[in-house]
Structure 1
C-alpha cells in the first residue's frame, strides 16, 4: 500500500537514498533540504508524488508549516524520517561552546522539533511511524565527536520515551543506528581537525583514519534504504536497529562490555540501597 513519507536532509547521503527508495517503491514523499534547489530534481523525475520543501530543522515554524503542507498536499502523513544531521571531528578542548550548541541544535533539537510537529497528526489518526536516524556513535562515544555523540545519545533517550508514550495510539518509533556508509558524511560535509598536539594519539589518529576511510566504508546507502522500507512495512518493527556490519559488531562488543562491567561492580551498585529489615 502506498504511503506518505516525510524525509529531512534529502540533498545527499542517506536522506537522498531513503527518498529515492521510497519513490521507486511507489510512495509519495516530501523531500526537504535547507536549499530546496538541491532537491528540485526529485520533482522533475517523479512528478506530483514529490513535494520539495526548503526546511531548516531547527526552525519550529518552518517544521510545522512543512508538515501541514504535506498533509494538505497528500491528505495525510504516514512516515517521518528524521535524518538531517552532521558531525564534525575535533577534541572537546578545542571545540567551542558555539560549535557544541550548533551540532546539538541540528542533531537533537531538529529531531524533537519535527517529531512534535508531526505527533498530533499521528495521534489523531492513531497510526504513523517515526524513524529517528541516530548513529552507532550513540552507543560507543567515538573519539573526536563529542557534540555529535551527545546529541545522538539525546535522540535515543528522547525516542525511547516517545515510543512508550505513543504506543497506545498505534504510533511506531524506530531508532536507526548507521555505521559507516559511503556518503558525503565523512567527506566535504564534515570538518576534521586534529587539534592541539597533546591529542595526536587520540583525536589526531581518528582524523587520519577518517580521511583514509572515506570512500571505503562497508555501508551501501541503497541497501540501508531497502532496510528502512522493509521496517516501514512491518506490523511490529523494532525500537532500535543498527545498520551495517561495522555498526553491528561495534554495538555487540560495546553492549557485552557494559554488561560485564555492570556485573563486576554489582555489589557496589546495590550497596547504595537502604539496608533491608534485619540486616
Structure 2
C-alpha cells in the first residue's frame, strides 16, 4: 500500500533524494520548497503522485495554508518530514543579526510551525509519523556552528517534549541526526567576513580544514535517505536515529563527557536539597 509523505526543503539534499526514492517506489509526495521549478522534472515524470507547493517555512501563515491544503487535497498524510534548513558558518562575533535570526526562524521556529500545523490533522486521522531532520550538531558542537547548534539543540528539546505529548494519539516522532554528508548543504552555508582575532582559535582551525578539504564528509547521502525510509517501513519509532560514523562517535563522546561532568557534581547538587526532603 502506498504511503503519503509531506516533505519540506525538497529542492536538493535529503529532501530531493527522499522525494526521488519515494516516487520511484510508488508512494505519493507533497513536496514543498521555495523554488518550485526545481522539481519540474519529477512533476513531468510522476504526474499527480507528486504535489508541489511553494513554501518558506519562516512564513507562519503560509506554513498553515500549505499544510492544510495538502491534507485537504490528499486526504491522509502518513509521514511529515521536517527537512528545510539553513546554516550559517561563522564565529560568535562574525555573524550578522540577520543571519542569526534567519537560522533560528528557519531551523527552530519554522520546524515548530510545520509540526503545529500538521498535528490537528494527524490527531484527526488517528495515526502518523513525524521525522524531524536535525544533525549530529543537535547533541554535540563544532566551532563556527554556534548559531546553527542553537537552533538544532532547540528543536531537539522541543521534539523530545512533543514526542511524549503526542504518543497517546498514535503519532510517532523521530529526530533524525545525519552526520557530515556531501549533499551540497556545506557549499550553501552562509558565511561572514572572518575576523583575524579568531585565526589561531578552534574556529580558525575548522575554517582552514573546510577550505583545504581536510574536513571529512564520511557519509553517503543516498544511504541516509534509504535509512529514513526503512525506519518508516519498519514502524519503529525511536526518539532519535543517529546516521553516520561521525554522528555515532562524536555524539557518544559528547554524552559520555557530559555524564562524567554531571556525576562529578553529584555532591554539590544534592547539598542544596532542603533538610526535610534530604
Question: With structure 1 as the length reference, what TM-score do the two structures score?
Answer: 0.94
CA distance, structure 1, for counterparts of residue 21 and residue 105 of structure 2: 28
CA distance, structure 1, for counterparts of residue 179 and residue 240 of structure 2: 14
Q: Report what 1:257 is aligned to.
A: 257
1:135-192 residue CA offsets vs partner (Å, 9 max, x unmatched): 11111122111111000011001101110110000000000111111111111x1134
Q: Report what 1:243 is aligned to.
A: 243
Q: Report what 1:65 is aligned to.
A: 65
1:51-98 residue CA offsets vs partner (Å, 9 max, x unmatched): 011100111222122222222332211101000002111111122232
CA distance, structure 2, for counterparts of residue 71 and residue 228 of structure 1: 22
Q: Report what 2:143 is aligned to.
A: 143
Offset of 1:214 from its aligned partner? Answer: 8.2
Retained in 2: the 8 A contact 1:194–1:204?
no
Q: Report what 1:225 is aligned to.
A: 225
Retained in 2: the 8 A contact 1:30–1:53?
yes
1:158 and 2:191 are equivalent in the alignment:
no
Q: Out of 163-172 and 96-105, give the one that drifted further.
A: 96-105
CA distance, structure 1, for counterparts of residue 271 and residue 42 of structure 2: 59
Q: Report what 2:172 is aligned to.
A: 172
CA distance, structure 2, for counterparts of residue 273 and residue 51 of structure 1: 57
CA distance, structure 2, for counterparts of residue 271 and residue 161 of structure 1: 29
1:7 and 2:12 are equivalent in the alignment:
no
Q: Report what 2:190 is aligned to.
A: 191
5+ residue gaps, structure 2, are none
SS in 1 for 2:185: helix
Offset of 1:257 from its aligned partner? Answer: 1.0
1:199-241 residue CA offsets vs partner (Å, 9 max, x unmatched): 1122221122223448951111111111011111233321101
SS in 2 for 1:131: strand
Retained in 1: the 8 A contact 2:31–2:52?
yes
Retained in 1: the 8 A contact 2:95–2:191?
no
Aligned length: 277
Retained in 2: the 8 A contact 1:131–1:175?
yes
CA distance, structure 1, for counterparts of residue 275 and residue 244 of structure 2: 46
CA distance, structure 2, for counterparts of residue 214 and residue 167 of structure 1: 43
5+ residue gaps, structure 1, are none
Q: Out of 150-159 and 199-208, give the one that drifted further.
A: 199-208
CA distance, structure 1, for counterparts of residue 83 and residue 178 of structure 2: 11
CA distance, structure 1, for counterparts of residue 39 and residue 272 of structure 2: 55
Judged with a 3 Å threshold, the aligned counterparts in structure 2 of structure 1 residues 185 and 117 are, in CA distance, closer, same or farther, namely same
Q: CA RMSD in A?
A: 1.7
Retained in 1: the 8 A contact 2:36–2:54?
yes
Retained in 2: the 8 A contact 1:32–1:39?
no
CA distance, structure 2, for counterparts of residue 192 and residue 77 of structure 1: 36
Retained in 1: the 8 A contact 2:209–2:215?
no
Match runs of 1:75-90 below 5 Å: 75-90=75-90
